Amino acid sequence: MKLLQKTSRIYLFASLTIYVAVGIAFFWSIKYMIYDEVESRLKVEKRDFEAYVEEHDEWLDDAYFVENKIEVTPTHGNISDEVIFKDTVILNRYEGTLDPFRQVTFYASIDGDPHRVVIRKSMIQSYKLIEAISGIMIAFLALLMVGMFFFQRRLSGKIWQPFYESLANIKDFDWTKNKKLELPKSEITEFNELEDVMVKMASKMQHDYKSLKEFTENASHEMQTPLALINARVEQFIQTGDLGKEQTYWIEEIYHASRRISRLNQGLLLLAKIENQQFTDHENTDLSELAAAKLKDFEDIISHRNIQVNLHCDEKFIVNMSPALAEILIVNLVNNAIRHNHQNGELSIKTGTGFLEVSNTGNALRADPASLFNRFKKESASGESLGLGLAIVKQICDNYGLQIAYHNHESLHKIQISV
Amino acid sequence: MKVLVVEDEKGLAESIVEYLTREGFICEVANTFWQADEKISLYQYDCTIVDLTLPDGDGFDIVQTLKKIAAATGIIIISARNTLEDKIKGLEIGSDDYMTKPFHLSELNARVKSLIRRRSFGGNNDMIWKEIRVQLQSRKVFIGEKEAILSKKEYDLLLYFLANTDVALTKESIAEHLWGDHMDSYDSLDMVYSHIKNLRKKILERGGKDYIQSIYGIGYKFTAP
């Protein structure tokens, strides 16, 4: 839910509640005041009545002509002091409607006899007044609420404007580029503080990205050059020709070790680069097509080990990713499936919408399957394996939000990549 | 054939020069950007080998200058930077080849030779060694008068040998030449062996001599017996 929507909603809800509560309270207070007024008039008439009865010791219906009805009925027993106010309705003689009245009932002795006296006052006018006042007040209140609602909306919109601009700029911000994050200045201190923090964070991110990028470049150069020198010297050395068996063995070891370091260095730097998201070019890559194409590079070794290949790559599996990484992903998966395969084994690649499966026959897994994608987790005893291939695959998958899973069914190992 | 080696690591430059000199090239070395800049403006080279990361400049600038003043020079970049962008950029601004460090001297040698051959004959000449004749244009191989039908890998292997005759080639360099560096599996060494066996057989069957000498623990040498 959007911020403005949320505040509007809260505002609307709160103001409606207040509106209803105020409306009810208002109605009741008006009503109370009117009643109070009617009752005090009834009391005045009661006193008039009592004064009249005291003076004349009798009551004549026509003796005291008032707008109100005064009903006097003889009664029995003791006269109680209670005075009861009550709402009632009386049939209108002319219009046949029931009109509301307020009545006061009390007991008085007229000429020594107890009488019950009821004085009534019509409430028609009073009700009309209540209705009119309440109606007008409620209408004004509603107008005020609606006015406030729209005012608040506009105000919030205006106040939050710099926030939305900043948000848009932050969304567009790319830490792999050199362009600094720029946020609009606002009059509001909190927004300015937020802006300061964001700008600091962004420049820190850019700085970290850049320094890691430089590190990977430098490390690559600084390590590969001496390794190239070792390689070159070894090559020159073996040209001398008169090497004994032992020297040959040593030099071979040196050569192997240096090549291994070089590959290890490249592998680790590649991991660092992927982790640092240095591969910023994105393209819609069909992994299905790529897998089929890359498999051709492995033709020789596949036929050498007599591996049977089953390719089911009819459906496209399109991922928006760096083409270079897509290639590394596929090559590492295929390489892995061939390396851990046995002579006359099987290799199958299957793709469908949203998944790619590479499975191969091979020895049963000894290590914990969960640690399969960890760095330097080697399954094969052969010293040639670096233990980085699947870690790189996993890192690439993590970078693009792809799921990677390993399944094992008897001697069949399957790695599945899916969205 | 004159070759300029632009490389700041002196030892590596020395190795390259030594190796290429044995192969009959006349080599000169520039250890810095400015030396290289001076040399290319003063002399003509058939091929220039350029390292990208130099202490006082960028190898790409040398490639660009070379393209302007001496378009006939073949250019091979050697660099520790192995990103795709660098490779693409290198080829875009006019270098002919891009090799990632560490590389095999034999591979560099083969590429220099093939580059010069392409540049000077348009790939339209034959490679002849003793009774072996390779028609580069049509990719045909003759032993004496008889044609030998080679597989693609065998053909590549033969060319690699012919570019590096009388030199000990490591099994690894051959494997890498044939399959690139993603084939790091030890199987590739077995595969090298089987391709060499086939190639040797095909040459012998057509009356050639056995030129492929195996060197224990190291690899092979293509040389006159």
Instruction: Quote ipTM for the complex.
Output: 0.87
Q: A378: alpha, beta or left, given left = phi > 0 and alpha = psi -120 to 50?
A: beta
Number of Cα atoms under 13 Å in the Cβ half of residue B25 = 26
CA distance A384 to chain B (A): 7
Helix (H) or strand (E) holding A105: strand A98-110
The Cα A183–Cα A196 span in angstroms is 9
Q: Determine the residue type at B166.
A: D
Helix (H) or strand (E) holding A17: helix A3-56
Q: Which residues of A310-343 are buried (b: 16+ CB within 10 A; e: fewer)?
A: eeebeeebebebbebbbbbbbbbbbbbbbbbbee
CA distance B34 to chain A (A): 20
Answer yes or no: is pLDDT of A65 > 50: no
Helix (H) or strand (E) holding A166: helix A124-172
The Cα B106–Cα A61 span in angstroms is 139
The reported pLDDT for the residue numbered B124 is 67
Contact between residue A121 and residue A150 where contact means Cβ atoms under 8 Å apart: no
Averaged pLDDT score across all residues of chain A:
85
pTM of the model: 0.72
Residues B19, A235: C-beta atoms closer than 8 Å = yes
Number of Cα atoms under 13 Å in the Cβ half of residue A378 = 9
Q: Which of B15, B81, B196, B198 to mutate to test the interface with A (most CBs of A within 10 A)?
A: B15
B72: β partners: none
- Choose between A370 and B32: higher pLDDT: B32
Of A235, A297, A324, the CB nearest to B105: A235
Contact between residue A113 and residue A78 where contact means Cβ atoms under 8 Å apart: no
Answer yes or no: is pLDDT of A330 > 80: yes
Alpha-carbon Rg of chain A, whole angstroms?
48
The reported pLDDT for the residue numbered B35 is 93
Q: Which of A176, A222, A224 to mutate to test the interface with B (most CBs of B within 10 A)?
A: A224
Structure tokens at A67: 């707008």
Parallel/antiparallel/unpaired status of strands B26-30 and B2-6 = parallel
Residues B102, A239: C-beta atoms closer than 8 Å = no
The reported pLDDT for the residue numbered B12 is 93
A116: β partners: A73, A107
Contact between residue A145 and residue A33 where contact means Cβ atoms under 8 Å apart: no
Confidence of residue B123 (pLDDT cuts 50, 70, 90): low
Q: Which of A271-280, A383-392, B85-94 has the lowest mean pLDDT?
A: A383-392
A360: β partners: A347, A413
CA distance B146 to chain A (A): 27
Find, in chain A, the residue whose alpha carbon is nearest to that of B18: A236
CA distance A389 to chain B (A): 11
Of B81, B188, B218, the CB nearest to A221: B81
Find, in chain A, the residue whose alpha carbon is nearest to that of B169: A235
Q: Which residues of B touch A233 (CB under 8 A)?
A: 11, 15
CA angle A238, A240, A245 (to 5 degrees): 60
Q: How many CB pairs under 8 A join A and B?
A: 113
Of A225, A251, A305, the CB nearest to B9: A225
Of A223, A258, A384, the CB nearest to B185: A384
DSSP label of A2: -
CA distance B41 to chain A (A): 27
Taking the CB of residue A50, how many other CB atoms lie within 10 A of it?
13
Q: Is A115 helix (H, G, I), strand (E, B) or coil?
A: strand
The Cα A368–Cα A87 span in angstroms is 87
Residue-wise pLDDT for B9-65, tens only, equals 999 999 999 999 998 999 999 999 999 999 999 999 999 999 998 989 899 999 999
The reported pLDDT for the residue numbered B186 is 64
Q: A354: alpha, beta or left, given left = phi > 0 and alpha = psi -120 to 50?
A: left
Answer yes or no: is pLDDT of A59 > 80: no
Q: Which residues of A263-287 are buried (b: 16+ CB within 10 A; e: fewer)?
A: bebbbbbbbbbbebebbeeeeebbb
Residues A335, B182: C-beta atoms closer than 8 Å = yes
What percent of chain B has pLDDT above 70? Answer: 96
Residue-wise pLDDT for B138-179, tens only, equals 888 999 888 889 998 899 999 999 999 888 898 888 988 888
Q: Which residues of A touch B178 (CB under 8 A)?
A: 300
Structure tokens at A218: 């430098």
Q: Which residues of B touch A305 (CB under 8 A)?
A: 187
Q: Which of A110-114, A166-170, B150-154 has the lowest mean pLDDT?
A: A110-114
Parallel/antiparallel/unpaired status of strands A113-122 and B26-30 = unpaired
What's the rounded mean pLDDT across residues A256-263?
A: 87
Which residues of A make CB contacts under 8 Å with B?
Answer: 217, 220-233, 235-236, 238-239, 241, 245, 248-249, 251-252, 255, 258-259, 262-263, 266, 297, 300-301, 304-305, 324, 331, 335, 338-339, 382, 384, 386
